[in-house]
Amino acid sequence: MDNNVINEGTEVLDAQQSWETALENERSVYPLVDVYETEDGFAISASMPGVAKENVHLKLEDGLLTIFGKIDFSNIVKRKYIFTESCFANYLRSFKLSDSIDESKIEALYENGRLSIKLPKKDSAKPKNININ
């Protein structure tokens, strides 16, 4: 048996367990989001400062899109704060998607603390121009 396949599977399982453990045991807040319609679909832009790209997790299940961003608390607790106005918590937010969304074409990009998600409409949900003869 190929050890790489075993290790890959273990890493995926460990990552999933760490997300589930964080959800159960650590504090979460809603990220600030903008949701808007585009010509071809919808878009979600979520602000998650302090989250590294590898700590962003998206899950789509039964039409529910869940965003999770895990903060690295180990670095935060080591700091000697003089003053802070920041809220240190993981980010968690879910959205029920419309049946008009083509779930197979959802795209996500994360850079500079901002998660951008494109939710394209199914072709059948897009407006069509009708020619008049």
SS3 letters across 65-113: EEEEECCCHHHHHHCCCCCCCCCCCEEEEEEECCCCECHHHCEEEEECC
CATH class of segment(s) 28-123: mainly beta
Percent of the chain with pLDDT strictly greater than 90: 53
Question: Is residue 1's pLDDT more than 50?
Answer: no
Amino acid identity for residue 17 in this structure: Q
* pLDDT over 80 at 34, yes or no: yes
- Alpha-carbon distances of 46 from 10, 73, 94, rounded to whole Å: 30, 20, 11
Which tokens go with 120? 């394209």
Task: Output 26 or 33, whichever has higher pLDDT.
Answer: 33
The helix/strand/coil state of 62 is: coil
Please report, for the chain, the start and end positions of each structural domain, with discontinuous segments joined by +: 28-123
The residue ranking higher by pLDDT, 88 or 100, is 100
* 29 in Cβ contact with 91 (< 8 Å): yes
Nearest-angstrom CA–CA distance, 102 and 36:
16
pLDDT digits (tens, 9 = 90+) for 54-88: 999 999 999 999 999 998 878 887 888 898 887 78
SS3 15: helix
> What's residue 131's pLDDT?
84
For residues 72 and 55, the answer to whether their CB atoms sit within 8 Å is yes
pLDDT of residue 15: 53
Tens digit of each residue's pLDDT (9 = 90 or more) over 2-25: 333 333 333 444 555 576 776 677
DSSP H helices in the chain: 3-25, 73-78
